[in-house]
A and B are shown apart, each in its own frame.
Chain A
Amino acid sequence: MAHAATAPAPGEIDEHHWTATGLNNRKVAIWAFIGSECLFFASLISTYLVYRGKSLVGPLPHEESQCMLHGKMQACEQIFSIPLVTFGTAVLLFSSFFVVLALNGAQRGDRKALLTWLTATVICGLFFIGMQVYEFNHFYHKGLGYSTNLFGSTFYTLTGFHGAHVTLGVIWLTTMLILAVRGKVPPEKSLNLEMAALYWHFVDVVWIVIFPVVYLMR
């Protein structure tokens, strides 16, 4: 099932390549999977919204509060630092742009473009994961543990699952990069990269929702 079918003459069907829609099976599958994932993140985001402002103790995302820090209740500063995460968001957005360029390179058989932009995509992904690790660590030291309050639990679960998706995407794209280095992503197999790219765009789009809902909305 490697390629979409061309219109068959009546009575003469290319059985090996036949699909009813003309689309590749794997492409339909990744879209269906993305549809399913939408409900996964919708559940996580809804929970975050429902529990917004319901935390019994600090620290809180946007305002000072009383929280347990170093073993005693004290005034804690707000958790979020918007500039850092805005930069991370921009990097992730650019990675979506880069993977389009990489895919375009693969489709044209332009090895140099493919390798360059795919490498750039992977680096951006790694940077985003690094930002998240730094952020989680930083928040933890500001007094926000996983079970500190509802904000902590919903925030870490939502962004943690998103981070896990980014990590899986980086592993996938790195696999594609290794294949590309070995010359195993020729134009006729660019669909393999397109699958990874579609997933990567989805992970990116989810962040475009998370960023305003979690970080910007007060």
Chain B
Amino acid sequence: MATSVLEHRAPAMAHHYPKTGLWSWITTVDHKRIGILYGATAFIFFLLGGIEALIIRLQLMGPNGTLVDPDTYNALFTMHGTTMIFLGVMPLSAAFFNFFIPIQIGARDVAFPRLNAFSYWVFLLGGIFINVSFLVGAPPDGGWFGYANLTSSRVMEATAAAPSPGMNIDFWVIGLQILGIASIAAALNFFVTIVNMRAPGMKMLRMPMFVWMSFVVQVLLLLAFPVITVALVYLMMDRNFGSSFFMPDGGGDPIMWQHLFWIFGHPEVYILILPAFGIASEVLPVFSRKPLFGYTAMVFSGIFIGFVGFGVWSHHMFATGMGPFADTFFSLATMVIAIPTGVKIFNWIGTMWGGSLRYTSAMMFSIAMVALFIIGGLSGVMHSSPPADLQQTDTYFIVAHFHYVLFGGSIFGLTSGAYYWWPKMFGRLLDEGLGKVHFWLMFIGMNVTFFPMHFLGLNGMPRRVYTYPEGLNFEFWNQIETVGAFLIAAAFLVFIVNIIKTWMGPADAPADPWHGATLEWSIPSPPQEFNFPKLPVVGSSMPQWDARRAAGGHLPEPALVSGADIPMPNPSYWPLITAIGVNLVLGSLLFVRLWPHWWMATIASALVLFVGAFKWAFEPTGH
């Protein structure tokens, strides 16, 4: 998308535009508002994915469960995975990227404010699109990994043996393409923001660790998403246009899908976890009152994780029989990743070691994130060995592993970030008492839910099967797990109560409630639209601690300023129109098999897209 200022008219100042009300949110290009939109939307999707998980747990609570039928179960685990990954964890991370990357590097906004709004709208509409499938009775049911020959069957030839005749997979394929566009646009934006928008003196090796880990994530997004885009195009062609990319009867190879999917899918794992690593690396030093231990080692281990993350994809495919050479290579590469991850864990422990620890909710979530991630990491190293993996693959052992890293890692990290940054985002401190209740419910619930899955998996309980017979000794642990799942649900109810309570309370958070180290704590809570009245000049990786020390331990509250002379970008609704165009173009592909003239809808949609993009390109931005 061209975001160019092709015409220079007199720049209109942003404060001529309304600042409250629905229209101001629809047209906003303010990274902080977009961050809040991302967070709120993603949290709703997250709850949706959580409800799907609860239904799964109720179905599996006892043997021969009859709560849902097998088809619904397939849809539930598919949409649970898809929702949590693409509509939950990724956009929750994006909420923090949006709000805090510009502020932590001392910038007034992202590099391309309208592209940022565009990313959000595409994500929102894509998330709605993929969930509309429930309303039309065709929810995706091929797993979040969408393995070919579950998904690639040519629809016109679909039989009982080739089980994907409906629109289910089409919703998934097109929905992921839409979300991919949102991700790539956002990644481009944050990449340029981090490279180019750093305040004077903010060298790369002075950036906060959250920004560093986010930077690695943007690179991973830019390089991984094109691959899944291509794979999804092939899948769509196989389904709708009779090609044989993954169809053995035409010479194609279903394993090809697995390769393409996991070349994307493994970097995606680090896309999900690195933001949480970044958050823990912010929270642990602040509440230990010590600088992050081994800053440079943390940076390079993050980069190394991202780099090697592109060379381990086939450890998801040991069961396909790739032969000893490939198995050995991917097994070794996977084990190598344990090294930089171990560096990080020891550095977090080193950060806390000897510090004066404050057990705030944010701190407890971060400490738990480190502990739980170690468990998930250890089981990960276990199935990096192909012989062990062959025993564990497709069992609940794997489900236990990735919930320890994704829930214990990502969600705990993101929740820690929520408690840590809430006062900065909304000017209100979340209630610490409720925060502790939230923490203990979630921590106990998480372990009660997911730890027994290790036992069940090693005892042979398969994944993705909608029920199990009596007498296999699966009953006890499944019951326990279901109880745990409802503990997690209770934890999030407490969190919602906490949010409402905080919302109704006074907006009295100081600028720096935690004595933080980074730039976001130097400005009022919540920040003013322009963030910094004057661009800060940065002299170290802990500018706010430097300032506090220089001021003798006490910093005055930063004053609110008018900022009338600070030029900010104009609001715009063209990103929304363009996002609608993107959704219509891709959405029109849903009708390929329903309507012989579907391409007319595509062309009409493309017109919306082009008008939006051109109006956007030629709109004065006010910069």
Contact = CB atoms under 8 A, between A and B. Distances in A.
B256 A47 contact: yes
Nearest to B204: A20
12 contacts: A11-B537, A20-B195, A25-B197, A26-B3, A28-B192, A36-B187, A37-B226, A40-B230, A47-B256, A146-B241, A157-B237, A192-B4
Contacts of A50: 253, 256
Interface stretch (A95-103, A135-143, A147-155): A147-155
Given A51-B252, A150-B250, A35 B111 contact: no
A35 B251 CA distance: 32
Interface of A: 1-2, 8, 11, 13, 15-16, 18-21, 23, 25-26, 28-29, 32-33, 35-37, 39-40, 43-44, 47, 50-51, 54-56, 146-147, 149-150, 152-154, 157, 172, 175, 179, 184, 189, 192, 195
Contacts of B222: 32, 35-36, 39
Interface string B183-203: 010011101100111111010
A36 B202 contact: no
Interface of B: 2-7, 111-112, 184, 187-189, 191-192, 195-200, 202, 222-227, 229-231, 233-234, 237, 241-245, 250-253, 256, 260, 263, 534-535, 537, 567, 614, 623
Contact of B251 (A13, A28, A33, A54): A54
B237 A153 contact: yes
B112 A29 contact: yes
Nearest to B224: A39
A36 B2 contact: no
A21 B196 contact: yes
Contacts of B195: 20-21, 28
Given A25-B197, A26-B4, A43-B231, 15 more contacts: A16-B623, A20-B196, A29-B112, A32-B188, A35-B223, A36-B223, A39-B226, A47-B245, A47-B260, A50-B256, A56-B250, A149-B250, A150-B250, A150-B251, A152-B243
B607 to A, nearest CB: 13
A47 B223 CA distance: 17
Contact of A15 (B112, B192, B263, B534): B534
Contact of B535 (A18, A33, A39, A154): A18
A39 B223 contact: yes
A33 to B, nearest CB: 6
Closest 7 CB pairs of A and B: A147-B242, A40-B226, A153-B243, A43-B230, A20-B198, A39-B226, A36-B222
A36 B225 contact: yes
Contact of A149 (B189, B251, B263): B251
Nearest to B184: A36
Nearest to A188: B8
A147 B241 contact: yes
A113 to B, nearest CB: 21
B382 to A, nearest CB: 31
B31 to A, nearest CB: 14
Contacts of A13: 200, 535, 537
Chain B CB count within 10 A is highest, among A1, A32, A172, for A32
A154 B252 CA distance: 11
Contacts of A26: 3-4
A152 B242 CA distance: 11
Chain B CB count within 10 A is highest, among A8, A43, A147, A150, for A43
Contacts of A35: 222-223
A172 B188 CA distance: 20
Contacts of B260: 43, 47
B196 A25 contact: yes
A118 to B, nearest CB: 15
Nearest to A56: B251
Contacts of B227: 39-40, 43
Contacts of A11: 537
Contacts of A32: 188, 191-192, 222
Contacts of B184: 36
A211 to B, nearest CB: 20
A1 B111 contact: yes
Contact of A195 (B2, B200, B225): B2
